[in-house]
Chains A and B, each alone.
Chain A
Amino acid sequence: MRIVNLTVDIDNPERIPTRFGYGEGLLEAGQKNEEVVALGADITGSVKADLFRDAFPDRFFSLGIAEQNHIGVAAGLALMNKIPFVTNYGVFLAGRGWDEIRTTVCYSNLNVKLGGAHGGISVGPDGATHQALEEISIMRCLPNMTVVVPSDSIETKKATLAAAEMFGPIYIRYGREKVPVITDESTPFKIGEAYCMREGTDVAIIACGAMVYEGLVAAKELEKEGISTMVINNHTIKPIDKATIIEAAKLTGAVVTVEEHQVMGGMGSAVLEVLAQDCPVPVEMIGVMDRFGESGDPETLMKAFGLCSENVAEAVRRVIKRK
């Protein structure tokens, strides 16, 4: 298991939206490799594909509001050895173009990159229709697909660059709102390699996206109660890092999974698939419990849906009792 020491003060972190990391990553990928191209879906600014568009107008194709067409066009570009990034709100990107992603992109194993913005209920007041809560499930079940949910803006940039460098379809999930920065430039990032951000012996929190931060806050709180909590940043949902997950479960004997996504089929489910087969231990899952999102400000929603550090800490207390 790779252990990465926290270099930031989690009581007082800097907050940056992960979409900024995606935008910078896409721009830099374009600077590094002229085969990188990007498609526009009429929300170019809000998903931060605008940096690329402004730098490389010839390699940016505005295609309007037409998600299925985007995926097909990207497939054609990939057949011509381009590296197309399709960026859109996650709901519409993964949902509207699913069969095109499945059969045209994944079955053919084409080098298409999917940037899924506005992941999770923290999208806020736009409400259920715009809050992507199912993409991890419906993307990770596709053969040949890689699924990454980076924890902060810096990691999102690294993931976007890594996506351009690897071959094959990949879905990167990122968010709209400002979230704490918990990694730095030197934090090692490799697709498929989870890492431990806090060591512990009583329980392991396995989280992805901005929920890793909630896990770290919970762990600090639990320390006061004498509970030693490990926190794993499981940024790659697929291919999942079995070795790290099994090691974490063996070392602690109890697991809490944490994600801003439906628990059904999401990151937690992927962890359970590993544990149930190789190292069954008691597990509690934090995530959205089979319901749609709602309008509201992001903070209120995270509380209402039980996605805060307090909820994680509660789940830890529950799972420890089951050991």
Chain B
Amino acid sequence: MAHQLNENELKQKARHYRRDILKMLYEAGSGHPGGSLSSIDILTVLYSNVLRHNPENPCWEDRDRFILSKGHICPALYTILSDFGYFAREELGQLRQYGSMLQGHPCMHHTPGLEVSSGSLGQGLSIAVGVALAARLNGTDIRTYCLMGDGEVQEGQVWEAAMSAGHYKLDNLCAIVDKNGLQIDGNVEDVMNIDPLTDKFEAFNWNVIEIDGHDVVEIGNAFLQASQFSGKPTMIIADTVKGKGVSFMENAPGWHGVAPNKEQLDAALAELEEEK
């Protein structure tokens, strides 16, 4: 990437994206705020400072690949893609409408900048393994990234993928678990405990880095470490808050898949305005 954003710029960007996400969901009348807001800082750093990509040429062969495995948080990705110029900003207002470029879950044939369609949880890491294997076979330095939810890692396929990435020592692969502690039915811990997550991935032969998933500096450092680590894939376990940035959405399971109404939107935007 030509220009690296500094800490303050990253924070400003993320705040701007948070506002966009809420407005999009309000317009759409449905969608997933909680997991979008918990992931947005990670995605902001990834797209601004880490990922090698070219919005003018989304199909550029040498681009790094980002696989959004937890497809339901695509509003977070859409707002970033539009900001980078993959498509016009007006499209954001069409989220989830009939005929829209922006489907309720990612469709690669509708939206420029998406690597693959997703929305059925637990499939993305396998795809990322395939991409990383091909990149290595081709002798390219392309890196592959994959974002998952913490409820999502309950899927058996995630562990099959993790085993294969460890087996093939895919150090060109970096995955992130957005560990916000919540899924739809409640706390991940109560629905189906996934811990100790770090030990599990280490046992599957991954390099594991634990970070605060809202600290843009920590996020950037983790991506850097991952790219410098050789012999193992890297798993970034990001400790996050579901609904981060909007007080009444934070840590509230009810905000997994519900859009704000006008009042709630205004209250949320006001909070995101004040923060400096």
On whether A92 and B190 interact (CB within 8 A), knowing A40-B185, A127-B107, A304-B98, the answer reads no
On whether A125 and B154 interact (CB within 8 A), knowing A43-B185, A65-B121, A65-B122, the answer reads no
Is B98 within 8 A of A69, CB to CB? Answer: no
Write 17 A-B pairs (CB below 8 A) sorted by A numbering: A42-B151, A42-B192, A43-B185, A44-B184, A44-B185, A45-B184, A63-B192, A65-B155, A95-B120, A96-B120, A125-B30, A127-B107, A127-B119, A129-B104, A295-B102, A297-B97, A300-B98
Q: How large is the interface on B (under 10, 10 to 19, 20 to 34, 35 or more residues)?
A: 20 to 34
Q: B residues within 8 Å of A by Cβ?
A: 28-31, 71, 96-100, 102-105, 107, 117-122, 151-152, 154-156, 183-185, 190-192
Q: Chain A at the B interface: mostly helix, strand, loop or mixed?
A: loop
Query: How many residues on chain A are close to B (CB under 8 Å)?
Result: 31
- What 0/1 readout, one digit per residue, does chain A (59-83) give for beta carbons within 8 Å of chain B? 0001111101100000000000000
- What 0/1 readout, one digit per residue, does chain A (276-311) give for beta carbons within 8 Å of chain B? 000000000000000000111100110010000000
Is A129 within 8 A of B118, CB to CB? Answer: yes
Is A297 within 8 A of B121, CB to CB? Answer: no
Q: How far is the CA of A92 from the CA of B71 in the complex (A)?
A: 14
Q: A residues within 8 Å of B by Cβ?
A: 40, 42-46, 62-66, 68-69, 91-92, 95-96, 124-130, 294-297, 300-301, 304
Q: Among A46, A128, A295, A300, which residue has the most Cβ atoms of chain B within 10 A?
A: A295
Is B156 within 8 A of A68, CB to CB? Answer: yes
Q: Which residues of A contact B156 (CB under 8 A)?
A: 66, 68-69
Is B120 within 8 A of A127, CB to CB? Answer: no
Q: How far is the CA of A130 from the CA of B71 in the complex (A)?
A: 11
On whether A129 and B190 interact (CB within 8 A), knowing A62-B185, A296-B99, the answer reads no
Q: Which residues of B contact A63 (CB under 8 A)?
A: 192
Is A295 within 8 A of B98, CB to CB? Answer: yes
Is B151 within 8 A of A65, CB to CB? Answer: yes
Q: Which 6 A-B pairs have the closest CB atoms?
A: A64-B192, A296-B98, A129-B119, A64-B154, A127-B104, A125-B96
Q: Chain B at the A interface: mostly helix, strand, loop or mixed?
A: loop
Q: How far is the CA of A304 from the CA of B103 in the complex (A)?
A: 16
Is B104 within 8 A of A297, CB to CB? Answer: no
Q: Which residues of A contact B121 (CB under 8 A)?
A: 65
Report the minimum CB–CB distance from B171 to chain A (whole Å): 28
On whether A128 and B105 interact (CB within 8 A), knowing A295-B100, A296-B99, the answer reads yes
Is A62 within 8 A of B105, CB to CB? Answer: no
Q: How far is the CA of A296 from the CA of B95 in the complex (A)?
A: 9
Report the minimum CB–CB distance from A212 to chain B (whole Å): 25
Q: How far is the CA of A66 from the CA of B152 in the complex (A)?
A: 9
Is B120 within 8 A of A92, CB to CB? Answer: yes
Is A65 within 8 A of B152, CB to CB? Answer: yes
Q: How far is the CA of A129 from the CA of B102 in the complex (A)?
A: 13
On whether A295 and B191 interact (CB within 8 A), knowing A125-B29, A125-B96, A129-B117, the answer reads no
